[in-house]
Structure 1
Amino acid sequence: MERVAFIVDATGERIDCLLNPETFEVKRLAGIRASAAGGDRLVGRGRADDPVRFTGGGRTELLLDMVFDVELVESAGAPSDVRQLTARLWNLAENSAQERGAVRPPLVRLVWGKSWNVPGVVSAIAERFDAFSATGAPGRSWMRLKLLRVDEPEDGAARSFDEELAHAAVAAPDAERPAAVQVVGGGQAVGGGEGDGGGSGVRIDLLAAEALGSPMRWRELAEANGVDDPLNVPAGSVLAVPSPGSPA
């Protein structure tokens, strides 16, 4: 399962999301307005519905619910404060770009695997924190982000899409991987399919890093094995590692 990334149009900066969105909602508002004369709204006397005016255009909004957790970051670069992971997404809602003498949020492109490639601007963002440390630093963030789609030439969309697919192929090559991994006590796991108990216990996301090359692919490992609750995998379970060409 591919991660979601935001590509800043002006600079080419890539902002990866820690996990795929928990939910993804798309809303379309058509170019329709209530008819009015002067400052007064026209009403349809004797009608079941008020008259409307078709203006063309419209608005498409994408609402993403995302989760960030410092525990899911590889230990070498794990921050103590989850805000270090989400700060760049907040910057996408700032008026940091200019157009015709006015300021506006930067144009970004939402890319998710081969299915989503949407240009837009971040119109709203909100964040809820929990898992606080003794010093008050939040360890987990529940973020809601609203993206407003904007127009772009068709050839530009196709070119950006091809570039992002090429980047993904280079950034995440399929390295040698084991055929299976075995879960040991307490929801931990170690590499190897023979149950020899070697190695140190790790979480399912670190198991995905060992088996699939990235801790962000823990959902892929869970889905391939029909695991509904990745935090409660029975001890002794042997999880098959999905092949590079699997549907997941």
Structure 2
Amino acid sequence: MGLAKMVIQVEVGHGEKDVRFDDHSETNIEVKFNPKTLSVSRSVSWQSQKAAKRDAPELQYTSADPATLSVDLFFDTYDSDKPIDQKDSVFAETKKLLALAAVSGDKHRPPVCRLQWGTQAVFFQGVLIQIDQNYTMFTELGTPVRATLKCSFKQWRSNIDDRKKQNLMSADVAKVWTVRRGQTLASIAAQEYADANRWRDIAAANGIDDPLALAPGSTILLPPVRPSASRVIRAEDIL
């Protein structure tokens, strides 16, 4: 079994719902030397809620930042059988990575990338946000033959994939609803909450006086379902 090389797959197109990749695309980058380390970092924001007589204030989750992957990639064209004055420039390899930070064709933005390695398959998907080039060896003619590129990728996920991951179809999460022709607050409540009587909650959240007067194409806020208080069971209810 041969040595598995890490590959950076480069987006080949953007479909209606997600970006597209091709395992055999000529734009994919196979690293010549596998990295020694991979570093992944992520930060999450929690806001403290001030309260009297609390040594440790309650923390409320507010947001999360995309994960960042950092990796150092080594390139070398010196170790070849060519004479010293005919060594290939390492630019031929490093420029492929530089292209990941450039606006690409009709996408009007740099491409999305997937990093995959051996049995791990795709272990990170993101966009290149920083690249530091360090050229460390040159021939007598000034040709660069060794370089280390410090690359940072920020996690990227399509809106559809992110909604699936977060399970935003759950009724305990607030959502924005686009009204379709023929819909009423009751029909929306029945579809969203499985309870048509919750149309009052939607009306109250949006300041709607007439639940039947909904303009097609307008947007309304669907408030999250709040857990109701437990019902007290009386002795006479059991009999």
Do the aligned partners of residues 54 and 129 (structure 1) sit closer, same or farther apart at CA in structure 2, a change above 3 Å counting?
same
Do the aligned partners of residues 125 and 74 (structure 1) sit closer, same or farther apart at CA in structure 2, a change above 3 Å counting?
farther
**Kept after mapping to 1: 8 A contact 2:72/2:149:** yes
DSSP-derived class of the 1:87 partner: helix
**Kept after mapping to 2: 8 A contact 1:34/1:50:** no
Q: Aligned match of 1:111 in 111, 116, 120?
A: 116
5+ residue gaps, structure 2: 14-24, 162-239
> Structure 2 length normalisation: TM-score?
0.51
**Kept after mapping to 2: 8 A contact 1:97/1:106:** no
Do the aligned partners of residues 133 and 79 (structure 1) sit closer, same or farther apart at CA in structure 2, a change above 3 Å counting?
closer
Counterparts of 1:83 and 1:95, CA distance in 2: 19
Verify: 1:128 aligned to 2:130, yes or no.
no
Do the aligned partners of residues 72 and 29 (structure 1) sit closer, same or farther apart at CA in structure 2, a change above 3 Å counting?
farther
Q: Deviations over 1:132-177 (max 9, x none)?
A: 11122221101110111211567xxxxxxxxxxxxxxxxxxxxxxx
Counterparts of 1:94 and 1:112, CA distance in 2: 24
Aligned position for 2:95: 87
- Percent same amino acid among aligned pairs? 24
Paired AA for residue 114 in structure 1: T
DSSP-derived class of the 2:42 partner: strand
Aligned position for 2:30: 16
Do the aligned partners of residues 85 and 33 (structure 1) sit closer, same or farther apart at CA in structure 2, a change above 3 Å counting?
same
Aligned position for 1:70: 77
Paired AA for residue 114 in structure 2: R
Equivalent residues in 2 for 1:132-211, closer than 5 Å: 132-152=138-158
DSSP-derived class of the 2:131 partner: strand
Q: Deviations over 1:80-128 (max 9, x none)?
A: 22111110101101122555xxx32211111111214122111111111
Aligned position for 2:219: none
Aligned residues: 143
Q: C-alpha displacement at 1:63, in angstroms?
A: 0.5
DSSP-derived class of the 2:126 partner: strand
Structure richer in strand, relative to its length: 1
> Structure 1 length normalisation: TM-score?
0.49
Aligned position for 2:39: 25
Task: Say what the alpha-carbon RMSD is for the aligned residues.
Answer: 3.0
5+ residue gaps, structure 1: 36-41, 155-248
Equivalent residues in 2 for 1:32-71, closer than 5 Å: 32-34=45-47, 52-71=59-78
**Kept after mapping to 2: 8 A contact 1:6/1:16:** yes
Counterparts of 1:92 and 1:7, CA distance in 2: 11
Do the aligned partners of residues 85 and 55 (structure 1) sit closer, same or farther apart at CA in structure 2, a change above 3 Å counting?
same
Q: Deviations over 1:42-71 (max 9, x none)?
A: 877876567654134431111101111103
Structure 1 or 2, whichever has the larger Rg, is: 2
Q: Find runs of 4+ consecutive structure 1 residues off by over 2 angstroms.
A: 42-53, 55-58, 71-75, 95-99
